[in-house]
Amino acid sequence: MGELIRLEGIVKSFEDTVVLNGIDLSVDENEFVTLLGPSGCGKTTTLRIIAGFEKPDEGRVYFEGKDITDMPANQRPVNTVFQNYALFPHMTVGENIAFSLRVKNRPESEIKKKVANALKLVNLKGFENRRIDRLSGGQQQRIAMARAIVNEPRVLLLDEPLGALDLKLRQEMEYELVRLKKELGITFIYITHDQEEALTMSDKVVVMNEGYIQQEGTPQQIYDEPVNAFVADFIGDSNILSGQMVDEKVVRIDGIDYPCIDGREEGFPPRRRVDVVIRPEDIDIVPYGEGLWNGTIISKLFIGVHYEMLVQSEHGKVEWLLQNYDQHDVGEKIGMYVDPENIQIMHKPKSEAEHAIELDL
Amino acid sequence: MIARKSYSIPFIIWIFAGTIIPLASIAYYGFTNREGNFTFDNIMAMFRGDHLQALGLSLLLAFISTLICLMLAFPMAMVLRESKYGKQGFLIFVIILPMWMNFLLRTMAWQVLLERQGVINALITAVGLPRQEMMNTPGAIVLGMVYDFLPFMILPIYNTVSKIDNHLIEAAYDLGATKSKVYTKVILPLSVPGIVSGITMVFIPALTTFVISNMLGGGKINLIGNIIEQEFTVNSNWYLGSGLSLVMMVFIILSMLMLQKFDKTGGANLI
Amino acid sequence: MKKVLGRIYILIIMLFLYLPIFALIVLSFNESKSMSVWGGFSLRWYQELFRSRIMMGAIANTFSIAILAALIATIVGTMAVLGMAAMKPRAQNVLLGLNNIPMLNADIVTGIALMLFFLMVRAPRGYMTILFSHATFCIPYVILSVRPRVNKNTDRLFEAALDLGASERYAFRKIVLPELRPGIMSGFLLSFTMSVDDFIITYFTRGAGINTISTLIYSEVKVGIRPSLFALSTIIFVVALVVLLTVNYRRDKAEKIRSAKPAL
């Protein structure tokens, strides 16, 4: 699998707001890459730059090593599934899908075959003559997919394509997308603010915030080893605690000195202030006094499979979030234990201010 | 981007040639005398007795007509709002249809009805009552104004009241409001934008008309519109006509500003 | 009780709106020239109307001016909207403010302003000056009806077309224009009716030898009402009725088709 798309030092501002702060990104052939982040993080602008709708102020875009920064959108070998589908309302389903083929003046017999084929791929066989405004949201979504893939693009860009669908349909479509990608064998660049979508479908997740890439890696890496509090907070529930390295491979969390597996070699020398992430499901409940921390359960919620509890620690003023299959009562005093492997020590998040400091160094 | 800025150029030229320069020329003539010198005379001429009287009468008749239109239109809009969908479409159709008739013909219709030898007098005398003099009175002019402009009051008010969410009214009742309170505290304030645009669409043409007063006033009742029209068409005194127009425009702008302020306060001081 | 009151109220308003028109229609078939005496049924006023060369000329002027003015206004207005879409919000607001002037201005002011302008540039007043003036007051209505159609959604559809390989010209023709079409159509129709209906601005900007229906009615009424005007009223009323009925019927039908098959 070779590299297909590379972004180098992309900077983009609108009016006076900087939207992208130097984005470097590499996408491999046949990869499912998800750009994940809250609204306003720059993910959509990144996508629009790849599609050719926006020109970066600085930086270059490469496709198979060729600089395509100045290539207009209608010549790029990429197609987009738009956020609200952008289906042409005055055309039938068939005409929508055939659009890119008609632009290229393909013979009608070929168009007919390809449209039918695309509809089959998205499980809407025989929908050619339907009107767009008669379709449900899920069907429109599929038509948008069919329209984008009928011309066999090398890369499919998907801009929050499931955002407008309800939960059940969304989960169904996640499977569909993965299946479709397998059948087509092309590269997907997917945009979402929904961490679950990102984790279930992607080969690679790129977490973005405030115009910076915060972290990129496999879903597993992103979940298990978030590099900073922003990523940890954005992906799943977590306890993010302020801590400080007190000795080589010893971190003080919530008033307790705790031996961990990260030290000077990983970039955490003694006295460095750090963020510590502990996932709520990694905290074991043990009898009072037998764990590392002691606390009192102050609230409890049953959320389907497990209980979620808030525990007020006795040591500092920290409230811990716990997830556990066993039921404990509010007011109960408990001990808490965490395996050293499950403690993730991180640098403080990368923000604009800090980025500037880094550059100064 | 779909287009280039340059597409707007014909429009910008047109705005200059058709609107800005013509309006500027009114201002130019208004402050100039026949010798081409600067003067306030054309403006001050508004304070001459006959002109002032015409302006006063215009304001009065326009005010009365607007008020009558408003009082007729608001209940109509409410009735429309509450009628069933199919019937609603029909009623709006019925209100719009007369607007498609040339308004000179509509005004002429009242002339036909009100004339000394007209339809109403024919009916009256047929039952043995004395002939009435209805033409050439301020009343006839007001009647013509109300008739011509009523749809322009009904439609904007209907447009806003029809958009008032029924839940708001239900909520008001739920919170213990009486029927009259629902009207004064919920429906009326919410329909202010429609009322304001209705008033604009009735008051300004009524204030500036010369056609209705000419046809139903028999040329005996002069409104400010008639004075200005005569300066341009009969006396060819564009200087005086422009000066008087400028003063009239001041009244138009003042009334619009008042209405706008009213719209912004959301009609808080309506009650 | 409330319903009955509502119905009575509607009835009163309807009588007020339609009795005068009804009177004109009845009198148009009156053999007698008198407005108060019924002289028997006759079509002589219709004959007189159709024989009048002046009236036929005025009708031709009215409609040719209306069509041309609406056409010019539609083209200039639509282009203006597209151009504005590429401008910064500040510039757009300035242009929209200027655009509002002819709509908010009293017709008499617009009329005399244009008249003074034509005098100043020594344009002989006649057909062309009326046409220019009508286009002037129609453009704002076109802009108001087309502008809402040029929005984020149109932008996105345009981008989608480019994304699918269309050239800008192709995307404009096949995607943007069909999107704008309803606004362009209603702008054209609005302009057309405004132009046909106008009297005041035409009155000030026409020359001596030219008449539209409105100005002809005005000059005839000043001399004395002729029953052929009743015939004209009847014809205009019937035409308006037929046109509005067809438009409404077609819209209702379209709506019925749309709602007949609910979204799946």
pLDDT in tens, C97-130: 999 888 888 999 999 999 999 999 999 999 999 9
Q: Which domains does chain B have, with CATH numbers?
A: 51-100+137-264 (1.10.3720.10)
CB contact under 8 A, A79 and C179: no
> Which range (A84-93, A351-360, C54-63, C167-176) has the least confidence?
A351-360
Going from the C-alpha of A152 to that of each of A79, A127, A146, A183, C139, the distances in angstroms are 9, 20, 10, 12, 45
Q: Looking at the predicted structure, is the pLDDT value of residue A360 above 50? A: no
Q: Which of C163, C181, C255 to mutate to test the interface with A (most CBs of A within 10 A)?
A: C163
Considering CB atoms only, which of C165, C167, C263 is closest to A100? C165
> Which range (A159-173, B143-157, C193-207) has the least confidence?
A159-173
Considering CB atoms only, which of C153, C171, C261 is closest to A134? C261
**C contacts of B118 (beta carbons < 8 Å):** 35-36
In chain C, what are the domain boundaries?
53-224
CB contact under 8 A, C264 and A103: no
Interstrand relation of A78-81 and A155-159 (parallel, antiparallel or unpaired):
parallel
The band of A350, judged by pLDDT with boundaries at 50, 70 and 90, is low
B17 touches chain C (CB under 8 A): yes
CA angle C161, C164, C167 (to 5 degrees): 60
CB A48 within 8 A of CB A78: no
Q: Is A205 helix (H, G, I), strand (E, B) or coil?
A: strand
Q: Looking at the predicted structure, is the pLDDT value of residue C176 above 60? A: yes
The band of C263, judged by pLDDT with boundaries at 50, 70 and 90, is very low
In sequence order, the 6+-apart residues with CB closer than 8 A to the CB of B129 are: none
Average pLDDT of the residues in C155-173: 92
Q: Which helix (H) or strand (E) holds A214?
A: strand A212-217
**A contacts of C157 (beta carbons < 8 Å):** 86, 88
CB A81 within 8 A of CB A159: yes
Residue B245: CB atoms within 10 Å: 31
In angstroms, what is the C-alpha Rg of chain C? 23
Average pLDDT of the residues in A297-319: 87
Please tell me the predicted confidence (pLDDT) of residue C257. 63
> What angle do the packed helices C2-28 and B49-82 form, to 10 degrees?
120
The band of C1, judged by pLDDT with boundaries at 50, 70 and 90, is low
What does the pLDDT look like over C17-73, one tens digit per residue? 999 999 999 999 999 888 878 888 999 999 999 999 999 999 999 999 999 999 999
| Full DSSP string of C148-206 | GGSSHHHHHHHHHHHHTT--HHHHIIIIIHHHHHHHHHHHHHHHHHHHHH--HHHHHH-
What does the pLDDT look like over B127-176, one tens digit per residue? 888 888 888 899 999 999 999 999 999 999 999 998 888 888 888 888 88
Find, in chain A, the residue whose alpha carbon is nearest to that of C165. Answer: A74
Interface of C with A (CB under 8 A): 153, 156-157, 159-168, 170-171, 174-175, 178-179, 258, 261, 263-264
Q: Which of C76, C128, C168, C174 to mutate to test the interface with B (most CBs of B within 10 A)?
A: C76
Bigger pLDDT: A288 or A163?
Answer: A288
| Full DSSP string of A57-85 | SEEEEEETTEE-TTS-GGGSSEEEE-TT-
Lookup result for tokens 């009847």: C234
**A contacts of C165 (beta carbons < 8 Å):** 74-75, 100, 103-104, 151
**A contacts of C161 (beta carbons < 8 Å):** 88, 99
Interstrand relation of A256-259 and A250-253 (parallel, antiparallel or unpaired):
antiparallel
Beta-ladder partners of A63 = A5, A66
A72 touches chain C (CB under 8 A): yes
CB A142 within 8 A of CB A177: no
Beta-ladder partners of A213 = A208
N- to C-terminal Cα separation, chain C: 43
Q: Looking at the predicted structure, is the pLDDT value of residue C216 above 50? A: yes
Please tell me the predicted confidence (pLDDT) of residue A111. 94
Q: Looking at the predicted structure, is the pLDDT value of residue B268 above 50? A: no
> What angle do the packed helices C53-85 and C44-51 form, to 10 degrees?
70
Q: How far apart are CA A128 and CA A130, in angstroms?
A: 6
Considering CB atoms only, which of C156, C170, C178 is closest to A82? C156
> C152 vs chain A: nearest CA distance in angstroms?
10
> C259 vs chain A: nearest CA distance in angstroms?
10
C119 touches chain B (CB under 8 A): yes
CB contact under 8 A, A86 and C166: no
Q: Which domains does chain A have, with CATH numbers?
A: 3-224 (3.40.50.300), 238-360 (2.40.50.140)
> B83 vs chain C: nearest CA distance in angstroms?
9
Tokens of A138: 């899920």
Find, in chain B, the residue whose alpha carbon is nearest to that of C158. Answer: B2
The band of C259, judged by pLDDT with boundaries at 50, 70 and 90, is low
What does the pLDDT look like over A33-70, one tens digit per residue? 999 999 889 999 999 999 999 999 999 999 999 999 99
Residue type for position B59:
L
Q: How far apart are CA B241 and CA A320, in angstroms?
A: 83
Strand order in the sheet with A306-313: A283-286, A333-338, A293-303, A306-313, A319-324
Q: How far apart are CA B242 and CA B228, in angstroms?
A: 8
CB contact under 8 A, A104 and C175: no
Please tell me the predicted confidence (pLDDT) of residue C258. 59
Find, in chain B, the residue whose alpha carbon is nearest to that of C5. Answer: B79
CB A34 within 8 A of CB A201: yes
CB contact under 8 A, A88 and C160: yes
In sequence order, the 6+-apart residues with CB closer than 8 A to the CB of B253 are: none
- Which percentage of chain A shows pLDDT scores above 90? 49
HSE (side-chain half, CA atoms, 13 Å) at B262: 20
**C contacts of A82 (beta carbons < 8 Å):** 156, 159-160
Residue type for position A203:
D
Give which of C17, C16, C8 is closest to B79, Cα–Cα.
C8
C160 touches chain B (CB under 8 A): no
Bigger pLDDT: C54 or B118?
Answer: C54
Q: How far apart are CA B219 and CA B230, in angstroms?
A: 11
Whole-structure pTM value: 0.82
Tokens of C262: 């609910």
**C contacts of B95 (beta carbons < 8 Å):** 17
Q: How far apart are CA A233 and CA A36, in angstroms?
A: 13
A351 touches chain C (CB under 8 A): no
Q: How far apart are CA C129 and CA C121, in angstroms?
A: 11
The band of A171, judged by pLDDT with boundaries at 50, 70 and 90, is confident
Counting Cβ atoms within 10 Å, is residue A260 exposed (0-12), middle (13-18) or buried (19+)?
buried
A123 touches chain C (CB under 8 A): no
Going from the C-alpha of B72 to that of each of A136, B65, B69, C16, the distances in angstroms are 45, 10, 5, 11
Average pLDDT of the residues in B14-24: 94
Beta-ladder partners of A274 = A243
Q: What are the φ and ψ backbone dihedral angles of B227, each rounded to 5 degrees?
A: -60, -50
CB C163 within 8 A of CB A74: yes
CB contact under 8 A, C85 and B22: no
**A contacts of C170 (beta carbons < 8 Å):** 103
What does the pLDDT look like over C185-196, one tens digit per residue? 999 999 999 999
The band of A326, judged by pLDDT with boundaries at 50, 70 and 90, is confident
The band of B269, judged by pLDDT with boundaries at 50, 70 and 90, is very low
Q: Looking at the predicted structure, is the pLDDT value of residue C91 above 70? A: yes
Q: How far apart are CA A135 and CA A85, in angstroms?
A: 12
Give which of A172, A174, A117 is closest to A150, Cα–Cα.
A117
Q: Looking at the predicted structure, is the pLDDT value of residue C2 above 80? A: no
Residue type for position C31:
E
B150 touches chain C (CB under 8 A): yes
Tokens of B262: 């009213």
Considering CB atoms only, which of B19, B118, B233 is closest to C98? B19
CATH class of the domain defined by C53-224 = mainly alpha
CB A128 within 8 A of CB A93: yes
Q: Looking at the predicted structure, is the pLDDT value of residue A273 above 80? A: yes
CB A145 within 8 A of CB A122: yes
Going from the C-alpha of C56 to that of each of A26, A200, C49, C64, C69, the distances in angstroms are 75, 76, 8, 12, 20
Residues 78-107 of B with CB under 8 A from C: 79, 82-83, 89, 91, 93-98, 100-106
User: Chains with ≥3 Cβ pairs under 8 A against A?
Assistant: C
CB A190 within 8 A of CB A201: yes
